[in-house]
Amino acid sequence: MSRRPPLRIVEVGPRDGLQNEKSVVSTAVKVAFINRLSTTGLKEIEAGAFVRPDRVPQMADARKVFKRINRRRGVVYSALVPNERGLDAALEARADKIALFTAASETFNRRNINASIAESVERFRPVVRRAASAKLPLRAYISTAFWCPYEGRIPPRKALDVCLKLAEMGITELSIGDTIGKANPDEVRAFLGPALKKLKAPSIFLHFHDTYGMAVANALCAWEEFGISGFDSSAGGLGGCPYAPGASGNVATEDLLYAFKSSGGAVPAEPREVCAAARRLAPVLGHPLSSRLSRVLR
């Protein structure tokens, strides 16, 4: 079997991307963005989050977004939820998949969601149970899995422990996040080496931010050396790093597609098409897109 499997992308632009943009984007623009993305060949789009609107105003219209999008056959429209109440909303909105979130750093988790890692994982249980009975697939985000803005470097073992707890709970897809974009290929290797002895490669998604320009190198390393095929990214490189104002956001989907396609990988969508979907947002966001490809096509 090839060490370089076809690329699987979870497009997080409409959620993680927009959530970290200052401009509040209208429902109509979000819906058009998601609809356009779903024509590119991307197979999964995180379309919104059912979270407290006072905490995350950008996601306040998630119900409307889910209601108004044109659902394309074969595309999974997922939703981030923090708890059972979020799950209720996601079920009502007919989300195809649910994403939960915790962290590998205690301090980060405490500051982000006011819970210890163990507490947040315990809160997952009823959500996991109900999602399972509704036959909804689940993913979990493990943020600050490499570096934490408060604790610094996170030992790989600590991130892996969180992953293993979530896997034991029945969560079959884990998104390992480099929330502040500080990871390098050695740190990716240090995590994946031990992790792949306990977890299967297809269950692992890597979620890189391009704060310092390391995301493509990290992703190629994971794919070439460990056969990891799952990555999160945002069209246009939407978003930012909440701990580095102005910084680049999630690695741009088009730059990741370019890198893998260029390196002989099978990719689900054409880089240009994804970039084109994001370019329509630029006037609304008030800044140019941060992806490399968007500069070439500008």
Positions marked catalytic: 241
Q: Look-up: residue for tokens 């500008």? A: 298
Of the candidate spans 91-99, 125-133, 159-167, 245-253, the one that interacts with its own copies by CB under 8 A turns out to be 245-253
Which of 245-249's residues contact partners 24+ apart within 8 Å by CB, and which partners? 247/181, 247/209, 247/211, 248/181, 248/209, 248/210, 248/211, 248/213, 248/290, 249/16, 249/17, 249/20, 249/209, 249/210, 249/290
* 296 lines the binding site for its own copies (CB under 8 A): yes
* 96 lines the binding site for its own copies (CB under 8 A): no
Q: How many CA atoms lie within 13 A of 123 on its CB side?
A: 19
* 91 lines the binding site for its own copies (CB under 8 A): no
* 244 lines the binding site for its own copies (CB under 8 A): yes
* 154 lines the binding site for its own copies (CB under 8 A): no
Of the candidate spans 58-66, 83-91, 111-119, 258-266, the one that interacts with its own copies by CB under 8 A turns out to be 258-266
Give the integer Cα–Cα distance in Å for 236 and 156. 30
* 246 lines the binding site for its own copies (CB under 8 A): yes
Residue 231 phi, psi dihedral angles, 5° rounding: -140, 145
Give the integer Cα–Cα distance in Å for 162 and 167. 9
Instruction: Spell out, one character per residue from 183 to 222, where the chain touches its own copies: x when CB under 8 A holds, - when not.
Output: -xxx-----------------------xxxxx-xx--xx-
Bridge partners of 81, per DSSP, are none
Which of residues 6, 170, 263, 266 is near its own copies by CB under 8 A? 263
* 232 lines the binding site for its own copies (CB under 8 A): no
* 250 lines the binding site for its own copies (CB under 8 A): no
Can you tell me whether residue 46 is helix, strand or coil? strand
- From the centroid of its chain, how far is CA 229? 14
- Interaction site with its own copies (CB under 8 A): 182, 184-186, 210-214, 216-217, 220-221, 224, 241, 244, 246-248, 252, 255, 258-259, 262-264, 290-293, 295-296, 298
